[in-house]
Structure 1
Amino acid sequence: MESELTTDRNWMSSTSSSAAEQRHRDRGLMAIGLFKLGKAVFFFLLGFGAIHLLHKDLGDEVMRLAAALKFDPESKFVTLLLDKVDLIDAHRLKQISLATFAYSALALTEGIGLMLEKVWAEYLTLLLTVSFLPWEVFELGQHPNWFRLSLLLINLAVLAYLIWLLKRKKVQPRVHAF
């Protein structure tokens, strides 16, 4: 009877410590991790789409898409898209798919690491976010629009949060449970 009581106490204490750990999860890291996982899925699908288009006439595919979306085939947008698509050959499409799969794997690594609250993932995300900022600012300067501005603001918010979190962790040393 006493061993059952001890077992119940051990189970209760392990359950309550597990629940306490879950309550103390950093919501900011969870949000950034989910964002990164969403990016991973998006870029994986983009890479898969590029492979799917490998041995097809891209001009025909653009025209089918324009018709499905009820775009005027004579519009400036469709004409511009057709001009750009003519520049893409099979080799370039393979390069695009490889790059998007690589970026997807990187975003997946970031996302999982952040969801698990790994410090290496925080530094990796910080490094990658900083490395893409100059490109984002350049693109915003060349072709300003709300989408690019939103991406830049999201990445600046992620950067600020990670810097704040890492500084806070440096000041507050970890307590190791034995």
Structure 2
Amino acid sequence: MTGHYFDDRPSGADDRRSVHFDAWQHTLTCTTSGGVFSADHLDHATRILLDSAGPPSGTVLDLGCGWGPISCAVAAASPSATVWAVDVNERARELTRLNATAAGAADRVHVAAPDEVPADLRFDALWSNPPIRIGKQALHDLLQHWLARLSDDGHARLVVGKNLGADSLQRWLTDQGWPTERTASSKGFRVLTVRRGEH
């Protein structure tokens, strides 16, 4: 793959393919492409995140949505949920729109670049396989920005590899006033659940 999945405009070939996966008793078929994260399959970390809890409801943020597996799974399994699928990658956003339409959820999955999300919007849940490889400071800035958008009783669920700093990220979040606990662990990945604290 040329470039990075977190580039605004990936330079890798736009070669479309299909990925099938099950989540919360729904089978989904999604279109993926080169230049987006995990183009050939549902990655293990996202699989673990989806398996770690039932589908969220209310207003849900899928941060770093990629080709949209979390957004589409939530929309399919939680008819009352409104999902905001956010990604800097233009191709990822295009694929998420396509996949939300295929899932019959285009009216409930709002796909946006980060600066297109209404400033006053608050989220009841934030689910993410966050882009660890953007670097520690960039990741910290990203999480601080979006965690501040949680509703008063909202929560975030983040899946992070142990070897990519899950435990140190948990400590950092707690030190920043975001109470964080490990709520699942599987195959070298941690699922961290984050609450608002006193923010």
TM range (shorter): under 0.3
Greater share of helix residues, 1 or 2?
Answer: 1
TM (norm. structure 2) is 0.23
Higher relative contact order (CA 8 A, sep 6+): 1
Higher strand share: 2
Q: Whose radius of gyration is greater, 1 or 2?
A: 1
